[in-house]
Amino acid sequence: MSDIYIPGVKSRLNTEGIIQDLMKVERVPRDRAEKQIETLQTEKGYWQEIGRRITTLRESARSLYSFQNPFSERIASSSDESVLTASASRQAVEQERTFTVKQIAKADRFLSDSQDNAYKVPAGTYTFTVGKDEISLNYRGGSLKDFAEMVSRRGRDKLRASVVNVQSGAQSLLVESLVTGAENRLSFSAAAADLAQALGLGKKESPETPETPPLPDRVAVKEEPLTVAAGDKTAIAFDETARDLSGEKGVVLTFETATRVTPPQETAAEEAPPGPSIPGAGSVSYRGITIENDASSVPIPQWEAPPPQALVDDPAMLSLTFTDGTSAALPVVRDSSGFIPQRINLDDFGGKNVASLDLENNNTHRDLTIRNVTVFNPNPPPPKPDFKPSNALSTAQDAVVVMDGVEITRPSNDIEDLIPGVTVTARAPSDTPVSLKVEPNRDAVKESIITMVGNYNRMMAELNVITRNDERIIRELTYMTPEEQKELQKRMGVFSGDAMLNQLKNGLQQAVTAPYPTQAEQELSLLAQIGIGTDVRRSGASAGYDPSRLRGYLEIDEKVLDEALRKNLPAIRDLFGSDTDGDLIVDAGIAYAVEVLSKPYVETGGVVSLKTGTLDSKISQEQRRVATLDRQLAAKEESLKRQYGQMEGAYNRMERMGTSLDNFSRQANSINNNR
């Protein structure tokens, strides 16, 4: 019995192999298109890598002259950071100051006596006060630890409580204010005061009568108006109370002034005096003859008109005289027909006691009136607390810092309003002066310059590799790992002869070697003058031919760069980016030139975008072609399978017919032989 043919399962003629061989020939155009897609995608990846390199170089160049450029950064360095530290913003001015930290700001920290671990805090309303802030909580009663946790949750950034295990089976409650400053004293009231006394945190004290009465907060020296006419002078004496108050910390002197200005009178021109009256000389007569005497002669000097009165205009009419005999001038008085309030900080005079306010009017046409002369303390010291701690780990106090001989008091150790743009932090008291220096952040400038040079060299290496088919270029890049060099090997010469990339490479080389104007230092105009160039050779280096130096890579001599940054920082800033036409917009410099050169390649619709967009179109076109060819190949393969199936079917039928004829012939022969 002949075998049964099942299409796709068994074939006597190996039709499957024949079909596959035929389809290989049919798939050649499709395989070629698929390979073209891979080539286009690889080329697109190369352009994307170029775009990333250009973008990185552009950003590093722009950072050297943009609004956030490192040339405007400032750092503050202290000669003793254990005593005082500081941080500077970009608004800080380069300067050097001397500080002495007399005391640092602290907050109240009170520790209770040791208590048994089983101690229970009774229920009640517990009120704590930190400065002007009040923290109150209703507690239902519980352990000391639970009470401390509830106080800390309610106190947040003002008050904190914790339990300290001082010994086995005993514990103490630590209550501490989180706000420094003498005005932020920690006090207890309501149930908190009873608990503080029960735990031994402290006790209430009845105010004691001081031996000497405290000074008043305000003393009126002279309230009624006092007028000093032009050319006069007088003094307003301070009584003993005002004199003592004037030497206290934070006291100010206030008064009101008004002036009356009269225009200078124009005097009429004086005439020459008539001179002396001389009597007649007389005569003599004799017998009708009269002889007249000669007239008397009196020599009179030539008359000169006296000079006009000098006009004196002197607005500095006020001064202070101190009890030690010294004096100090006060600010000038502004002319005003109405009274103007004046305010003088007496702290500016070193805490001296004022003996009198002196008024000396040297003017010829101005009268001065003064009234409401008062000495007062706008911030009187807070009253002494009526709670005395038993175990005070620290007591609330202000930070006292002396800057360049001027004493400053602040409630916090972080002082932001002392030097514009600088935050000074007092760390520890010290009698030794500490020097604080605010200067440009030269390390940040150097790092940014090195970053730009590194990105430039990486960009030039990429351009040299993809535009030239020379393996020496890769071997010269000794700073790269073998894996990176192997990856570059794949891209060697892929864009050989590309005019756009060669133009970019030449433009970058010209940008970093061209001279640029610098207003700060006219002699500095080249990158090579600060130790950066294509052939920066140190002493003793070989001067032989080196082809790698001709490929546009930049070298850095750090010693020369450091020295240039130390001496010519403003000129270096102009070298990388400067405004030459006064419109406050950078329009020159190395970094500016590099950024402008790079922009057309990576901006929206730029060279890289157009290249990748064109490649995307080609890839889409080839993908559509592959899809069409896949459909055609599938139809062709199906047609071949059908045709070869029909052929094998016909072959099987012919084989079965041949077998039938053979059987018939054998049967006929057998019958004939039997006869």
Q: What is the mean pLDDT of residues 609-630?
A: 91
What's residue 211's pLDDT?
A: 56
What are 43's two structure tokens? 């080329």
| Cα separation, 221 vs 217, whole angstroms | 13
Same domain, yes or no, for 355 and 368?
Answer: yes
Tell me 87's DSSP state.
E
350 closest CA partner among 331, 375, 373, 324: 324
Sign, CA dihedral 33-38-39-41, equals positive
Between 190 and 384, the more confident residue is 190
Q: Where are the beta strands (DSSP E) in 475-589?
A: 532-533, 555-556
Split at pLDDT 50, 70, 90, the class of 531 is very high
Q: What is the mean pLDDT of residues 391-412?
A: 91
What's residue 541's pLDDT?
A: 47
pLDDT(397) > 70: yes
Same domain, yes or no, for 339 and 355?
Answer: yes
Whether residue 37 is contained in a domain is answered as no
269-273, 318-322, 515-519, 606-610: least confidently modelled range = 269-273
Q: What is the mean pLDDT of residues 493-506?
A: 89
Split at pLDDT 50, 70, 90, the class of 549 is low
Q: Which of 598, 624, 646 is the last residue of a domain?
A: 598
Same domain, yes or no, for 431 and 549?
Answer: no
Q: What percent of the chain has pLDDT over 90?
A: 49
Same domain, yes or no, for 462 and 586?
Answer: yes
List C-alpha distances in Å: 475 to 118, 220, 546: 79, 90, 13
pLDDT digits (tens, 9 = 90+) for 232-254: 999 999 998 889 888 888 899 99
What's residue 248's pLDDT?
A: 86
Same domain, yes or no, for 362 and 483?
Answer: no
Whether residue 185 is contained in a domain is answered as yes
The CATH number assigned to the domain holding 232 equals: 2.60.120
Whether residue 467 is contained in a domain is answered as yes
* Burial bucket for residue 148 (CB in 10 Å: 0-12, 13-18, 19+): buried
What's residue 6's pLDDT?
A: 52
pLDDT(207) > 60: no
Q: Supply the DSSP string of 429-464, one letter for each residue.
A: --SS-EEEEEEE-HHHHHHHHHHHHHHHHHHHHHHH
Q: What is the pTM of this model?
A: 0.65
413 closest CA partner among 105, 18, 3: 105
What's residue 672's pLDDT?
A: 75
Q: What is the mean pLDDT of residues 462-481?
A: 85
What's residue 213's pLDDT?
A: 67
Same domain, yes or no, for 320 and 194?
Answer: no
What's residue 561's pLDDT?
A: 94
Between 675 and 289, the more confident residue is 289
Whether residue 371 is contained in a domain is answered as yes
164-173, 547-556, 586-595: least confidently modelled range = 547-556
pLDDT digits (tens, 9 = 90+) for 369-386: 999 999 988 777 655 556
Q: What is the mean pLDDT of residues 115-131?
A: 92
Same domain, yes or no, for 333 and 236?
Answer: yes
What's residue 635's pLDDT?
A: 87
Whether residue 630 is contained in a domain is answered as no
205-209, 437-441, 500-504: least confidently modelled range = 205-209
pLDDT digits (tens, 9 = 90+) for 621-656: 989 988 998 898 888 888 888 887 788 778 778 878
The enclosing H or E element of 191 equals helix 191-199
Q: What is the mean pLDDT of residues 21-38?
A: 86
What's residue 206's pLDDT?
A: 57
pLDDT(185) > 80: yes
Q: What is the mean pLDDT of residues 286-299?
A: 72
Split at pLDDT 50, 70, 90, the class of 268 is very low
Q: Residue 194 contacts by C-beta under 8 Å, 6 or more apart in sequence?
A: 124
What's residue 539's pLDDT?
A: 43
pLDDT digits (tens, 9 = 90+) for 569-583: 999 999 999 998 888
Q: Which domain holds residue 99?
A: 76-105+398-439
| Cα separation, 293 vs 281, whole angstroms | 5
What's residue 267's pLDDT?
A: 44
Q: Which of 439, 467, 491 is the last residue of a domain?
A: 439
Between 245 and 441, the more confident residue is 441
- Compute the CA torsion angle 539, 544, 545, 549 (nearest 10 deg): -10
Q: Residue 5 contacts by C-beta under 8 Å, 6 or more apart in sequence?
A: 11, 12, 648, 649, 652
Q: What is the mean pLDDT of residues 604-608?
A: 91
Q: Say how many Å lie between the first and final Cα of the chain, rounded.
A: 29
Q: What is the mean pLDDT of residues 352-366?
A: 92
Whether residue 459 is contained in a domain is answered as yes
Same domain, yes or no, for 90 and 130?
Answer: no
Between 665 and 305, the more confident residue is 665
What's residue 551's pLDDT?
A: 76
113 closest CA partner among 168, 173, 161: 173
What's residue 385's pLDDT?
A: 57
Same domain, yes or no, for 453 and 593?
Answer: yes
Whether residue 92 is contained in a domain is answered as yes
Whether residue 431 is contained in a domain is answered as yes
Q: What is the mean pLDDT of residues 48-73?
A: 93
pLDDT(535) > 80: no
Q: What is the mean pLDDT of residues 482-496?
A: 85
- Compute the CA torsion angle 84, 85, 90, 96 (nearest 10 deg): 40
Same domain, yes or no, for 85 and 180?
Answer: no
Q: What is the mean pLDDT of residues 260-289?
A: 69
What's residue 309's pLDDT?
A: 66
What's residue 445's pLDDT?
A: 95
| Cα separation, 607 vs 61, whole angstroms | 19
Same domain, yes or no, for 216 and 352?
Answer: yes
Tell me what the pLDDT averaged over the chain comes to: 86
pLDDT(8) > 60: no
- State how beta strands 202-204 and 109-111 pair: unpaired
Same domain, yes or no, for 507 and 550?
Answer: yes
What are 156's two structure tokens? 């947040």
- Domains in the chain, number: 4
| Cα separation, 566 vs 573, whole angstroms | 12
375 closest CA partner among 257, 235, 247: 247
Name the one residue in this structure whose structure tokens are 């730009």: 452
Q: What is the mean pLDDT of residues 15-19?
A: 78
Q: What is the mean pLDDT of residues 518-536?
A: 84
Q: Which of 598, 624, 659 is the last residue of a domain?
A: 598
Name the one residue in this structure whose structure tokens are 């890839």: 619
Is 157 in contact with 107 (CB distance < 8 Å)?
no
pLDDT(1) > 90: no
